[in-house]
Amino acid sequence: MTTIGVLALQGAVREHIRSVEASGAKAIEIKRTEQLEHIDGLILPGGESTTMRRLIDSYGFFTALQEFGKKGKPIFGTCAGLILMASKIEGQDHAHLSLMNMKVARNAFGRQVASFEQELAIKHVADDFNAVFIRAPYVVEAGAEVEVLATHQDRIVAAKQGHYLCTAFHPELTDDNRFVEYFVKMVEQSVETLAS
C-alpha cells in the first residue's frame, strides 16, 4: 500500500491523515527526518508559514525536504504549505523550500474573518469542488512549467509542477476527498515510475 506522510510540526495534521486514509492510502505523521525514507509522498499542511519554517529549521527538515523532492517523490502543500513550496514570496527577500517556480502572496484573501467557501472547477479533479479558504494565499505569478489547476477571482489557487502539487485552500477540511485522491494517484504513479 502507498504510504503518505504528513509533516507533523504544525497545522491540520489529523485532518490530512483522515483524508489520506479515506482515499485508500496509508498515512503517517512525520516528526523526524529519518521517517522520510519510509514514505512515498508527503503533505505539507496548512498552518502559519513563518512558524512552520522556524520548526522545519529547528528539527533539521530543510535540506531533507528538498532532497525528498529531488528524488522525484511527490509533495503536496496546502495553504501555508503552498507558501513553503514557492520560489518567491511577495514582500519577502527570501523564499522557503523553493520547490515550485511561482510567486505567492500571503494572507491574500484577508485575515481570519475573511475565511470563506467557494465552489471551484479544478482541472483533473472536479467541476464542483467545495473549497475552504482560511487566511488564504494565492499564486501571483506561475512559471511556464507550472500547470494552473484552479482559479478564483482570476487568482491561481491550485497548481501542479511535475511531482509537486499545491492549493491555497484546505481540501482536508471537507468530506470531499477528490483532491486528496488526485494526490494519492500522483504518488501511486510515482512509485511505479521510480521502481522501473
Q: Is the pLDDT of residue 113 over 70?
A: no
Per residue in 70-79, pLDDT (tens digit) is 999 999 999 9
Give the cell for residue 87: 520560489
Per residue in 130-185, pLDDT (tens digit) is 999 988 889 999 999 999 999 999 999 999 999 999 999 999 999 999 999 999 99
Q: Out of 79, 163, 166, 181, which one is annotated catalytic?
A: 79
Structural domains in the chain, CATH included, are 3-195 (3.40.50.880)
Per-residue model confidence (pLDDT) at position 46: 86
> Is residue 181 annotated as part of the catalytic site, yes or no?
no
Q: Out of 16, 96, 163, 170, which one is annotated catalytic?
A: 170
Q: Out of 15, 152, 166, 172, which one is annotated catalytic?
A: 172
> Is residue 166 annotated as part of the catalytic site, yes or no?
no
Mean pLDDT over residues 46-58, rounded? 89
> Is residue 172 annotated as part of the catalytic site, yes or no?
yes
Per residue in 71-111, pLDDT (tens digit) is 999 999 999 999 999 999 998 888 899 999 999 998 766 65
